[in-house]
Amino acid sequence: MEPDEALERLGTRETELARVAARGRRRALVIMLLGCVPALVLVGWLNHDASLVALIPIVTVLPGLWYSWLKWARRPEDSQSVAFVGLDRSQRRLVYCSVATGSPLDDPIVLTIVGSMQQHMERTGWMAALAVAGITASVCLLIGGSGTPSWPAITAVLAAGTLAIAGGWWLTRRTGQVMRRSGVGA
């Protein structure tokens, strides 16, 4: 990107970030609706549960989606990952390639979004690791407590949990490296 073009994009950064965040909010809401609500109906159907109690998860998920939408609209600076969803496919591909290779980014809009996401991952990464470890342990206990434990299933769950934690750690470190190479941060 030419220096003049980068300077011009910096000048319109707030407007463009708001536009990207609005597009990301819409896309994220559609993803959550298409991912959460049918999954809850499918689980009720698979369990042959036609009672009104089966509607409780759906009734609890919809206010959660509404809360997320309001939070994103009220505090867009806290929802840079939603803004990332709003980027064009070519911009997202550029970020993926940059993180994979460790090469710098030069788009000021993308740098702002990725930098904010990286700072958030550094602040909250340990909480995510604890959550993944807790979920992994719970699933292993559920599988192991069913009479005859299925050791291949327990091993697969432990491997998936370990890979999720290691992947989060690697992504945080690599994104920090990309930001430093891009001239942002220490």
Burial letters for 38-64: b for 16+ Cβ neighbours within 10 Å, e otherwise?
Answer: eebeeebeeeeeeeeebeebeeebeee
DSSP designation for 87: S
Does residue 98 lie within any of the structural domains?
A: no
Does residue 102 lie within any of the structural domains?
A: no
Domain that holds residue 116: 107-186
State the Cα–Cα distance between residues 49 and 122, nearest whole angstrom: 42
Burial of 11 by CB count in 10 Å (0-12 exposed, 13-18 middle, 19+ buried)?
exposed
The tens digit of pLDDT for each residue in 65-93 reads: 788 777 777 766 566 677 888 888 998 89
Does residue 125 lie within any of the structural domains?
A: yes
Does residue 96 lie within any of the structural domains?
A: no
Q: Which of 86, 121, 139 is the last residue of a domain?
A: 86
State the Cα–Cα distance between residues 69 and 25, nearest whole angstrom: 7
Same domain, 80 and 112: no
Q: Are 136 and 158 in contact (CB under 8 A)?
A: yes
Same domain, 78 and 7: yes
Same domain, 72 and 118: no
End-to-end Cα distance, the chain: 23
Same domain, 54 and 122: no
Residue 153: CB atoms within 10 A of its CB come to 14
pLDDT over 90 at 166, yes or no = yes
0.75 exceeded by pTM? no
150 vs 13, residue with greater confidence: 150
Give the range among 129-133, 161-165, 168-172, 182-186 with minimum mean pLDDT: 182-186
How many separate domains does the chain show? 2
The packing angle between helices 56-74 and 13-46, to 10°, is 180
